[in-house]
Amino acid sequence: MSRLFPIVFLLLCACARDQATTPVWSSLEPEDFSTPFEVQRSGEKRELKDCTTLVKAVREKFETENPADYAVFLATAERCLAHEAVAAAHPYTRSNWTPTDQLPAAALPGAGWESRTKLVAKGDFDGDSWEDRLYQVEQWATRGTNRQVRFVLCTKKDAAPVAILKQLAL
């Protein structure tokens, strides 16, 4: 029996082994709250020192004292949502992405806008073990000063084209 034990042990280990997983990857930098956001709503003031309080304040319709700071406030909240999504992602075991895959046209702005996309994270964001990707879409109006940053989660299963899972938005 002592001769069979190593063989049985190796067989059990081989059968119990999980598929290789690729860890979640992200290029998102941590948010800097060394200077907190000061916001207000109907006379109530808050000082926001982290992503959780910032996202909550946006949802509760707080605004910055200086209207020029509001765009930065919203862009920071969008990045906070991206950080939350990355923190909740899992490693993926299957991938069908190729180096030539691009965002679907529906994820890009239409006429009157220019844009730049950047891959910011890879992982399993929807729990199906397939690789999903999080893209940052920076867009600006061709006329005027309107500028926005959005985050779009995409997936590619089997031989299907790249599909939008969802846009992270408040």
Summarised one tens digit per residue, pLDDT across range 17-58 is: 445 688 899 999 999 999 888 999 999 999 999 999 999 999
**16 within some domain:** no
Angle at 99 between CA 96 and CA 105, to 5 degrees: 85
pLDDT tens by residue, 140-162: 999 988 888 999 999 999 888 99
Q: Mark whether 83 and 110 lie in a shared domain.
A: no
CB–CB of 82/28 below 8 Å?
yes
The pTM of this model reads: 0.82
**10 within some domain:** no
pLDDT of amino acid 170: 86
**18 within some domain:** no
Cβ-based burial of 165 (10 A; exposed 0-12, middle 13-18, buried ≥19):
middle
Kindly state the helix (H) or strand (E) to which residue 165 belongs, with its residue range.
strand 163-168
Closest CA to 70 of 83, 82, 54: 54
**77 within some domain:** yes
User: Could you tell me the residue range of the domain that residue 58 belongs to?
Assistant: 26-88
pLDDT tens by residue, 45-94: 999 999 999 999 999 999 999 998 898 899 999 999 999 999 999 999 99
Express as a percent the part of the chain with pLDDT over 70: 88
pLDDT of amino acid 119: 96
Angle at 8 between CA 6 and CA 13, to 5 degrees: 95
**97 within some domain:** no
Q: Mark whether 116 and 148 lie in a shared domain.
A: yes
Q: Mark whether 113 and 81 lie in a shared domain.
A: no
Domain-terminating residue out of 59, 88, 117: 88
**142 within some domain:** yes
